[in-house]
Structure 1
């Protein structure tokens, strides 16, 4: 059967794997072999006194997938990336807080990666998205030490509301390195009045 003759639902059923392009996609747009071959980690790590659940090591092919999603707008990878998050049980939180993005970065990219991933998870878990923290345009973090990253970020995040709508929240990001971004975001959420803050990232880039 030729793919061009299939309906959308049938096409999804017979579509090739989005990674190898050879085997038929079994789940999450990938074949079973590619799914099993992802650099799984599936554990909690600790950075800046924050416990964060991560799904994978930042290795091939997940690092390439994240890069293409964020830098090239390859939205077809959202299903796969969302599935990686879903390897963790549904968190007992009231809302998902995606990592804030600076306005200049949003204009440059044209979309907010963490928000799109949070939106997909919100749909699966039936948990609302909440964005009480915004981010100033600032200097890049690349090349800074762990201490300098945190100091730089503390000045970049700010509350855009005085009302704490949810007490129990999940901070969501794609890649964790030093954990400085999550620590800065958590500080703002605690200042607002959040009492239980969890965190989840796709990958750990330090191992």
Structure 2
């Protein structure tokens, strides 16, 4: 029997067993299928398979959902995407699922800094608001999560970005790719200006293998200025060209876009 990750049973209970809204804890939660859907579905387009229909019937009957309609509306405002430069004449588009504001900011901090897994169902509900990248599917795209180092992993005890990225991979049906490593010669980004963040991330990443597909979807939990995703995008753009034997930047064969759970100021 397949072993579940430590947080998986809690997620299952929250989605299928708890009838109260995970945010306000006052109103009854509403199944995801009954909430207004402004973005992509968890299933690939035109998926009418027997198992998909069976799962939808199961969800409609037993799935209590995570949020009530009121709270869903309060966090479902999709921020505008913004661009950052990664090369001459080349930008990286970053799209977040929501704003880094109350109450999501408190939930993210509790999850990241205090390993509060009770906040994870709420964060996943928000994450599922991200629009599926057009034309991306399991055999032409990969998700590249913001890498961490062994030292940071040991210090923190777990990797919050990895957990969120795994759930996004499951939601979009697009595999993860771990072909980038992080070099542990940087300090925490928190509290730094944008210029300091960019300088802090110089040479912070390195490719360890050639990307297996042409479409690379970068992911981080919080994009405040976008500096971390910008640095990761630069590494992928520059070093992937070298690994693929491409000499001209203009002929880089890879398409990059970036996504985050939340975007906004840390203050």
Common fold: TM-score over 0.5: yes
Q: 1:51 to 1:85 in 2, by over 3 A?
A: same
Within the candidate set 77, 102, 106, 1:40 is matched to 77
For 2:199, the equivalent position in structure 1 comes to 151
Q: Distance in 1 between matches of 2:14 and 2:147?
A: 37
Name which one, 1 or 2, has greater alpha-carbon Rg.
2
In the TM superposition, what is the alpha-carbon distance from 1:9 to its structure 2 partner? 7.1
Q: 2:117 aligns with which of 61, 72, 75?
A: 75
Change (3 A) 1:134 1:36: same
- State whether structure 2 residue 245 is matched by structure 1 residue 192: no
| SS of alignment partner, residue 257 of structure 2 | strand
Structure 1 CA distance for aligned equivalents of residues 195 and 123 of structure 2: 30
Q: Tell me: CA distance 1:9–1:52, structure 2 relative to 1, closer, same or farther (3 Å).
A: closer
2:67 paired residue among 30, 35, 39: 30
Q: 1:9 to 1:178 in 2, by over 3 A?
A: closer
* Aligned residue number for residue 98 of structure 2: 56
Structure 2: give runs of 5+ residues left out of the alignment: 1-11, 32-64, 86-90, 242-252
Change (3 A) 1:39 1:10: closer
- Separation of aligned partners in 1, 2:142 and 2:76: 28
Q: Report the Cα offset of residue 53 of structure 1.
A: 0.9
Query: What is the alpha-carbon distance in structure 2 between the residues aligned to residue 123 and residue 24 of structure 1?
Result: 26
Q: Per the alignment, do residues 34 and 158 of structure 1 end up closer, same or farther by CA in structure 2, a change over 3 Å counting?
A: same
Structure 1: runs of 5+ lacking an equivalent: 1-7
Task: Answer yes or no: is the 8 Å Cα contact 1:45–1:54 preserved in 2.
Answer: no
Match of 1:121 in 2: 168
Q: Tell me which of 190, 193, 196 is aligned to 1:142.
A: 190
CA–CA separation in structure 1 for the residues paired with 2:18 and 2:159: 31
**Cα contact 1:39–1:58 (8 A) shared by 2:** no
The question of whether the paired residues in 1 share the 8 Å contact of 2:76 and 2:129 is answered with no
Q: Structure 2: how far apart are the matches of 1:196 and 1:61?
A: 34
Q: What SS does structure 2 have at the residue aligned with 1:154?
A: coil
CA deviation string 1:57-109 (max 9, x = no partner): 21100101111111122234333323323223311341111111122221122
Contact 1:175 1:204 in 2 (8 A): yes
What secondary structure is seen at the aligned counterpart in 2 of 1:37?
helix
SS at match of 2:78: strand
Q: In the aligned structure 2, how far is the partner of 1:118 from the partner of 1:103?
A: 18
CA distance in 1, matches of 2:14, 2:172: 26
Report if the CA contact (8 A) 1:39-1:56 is conserved: yes
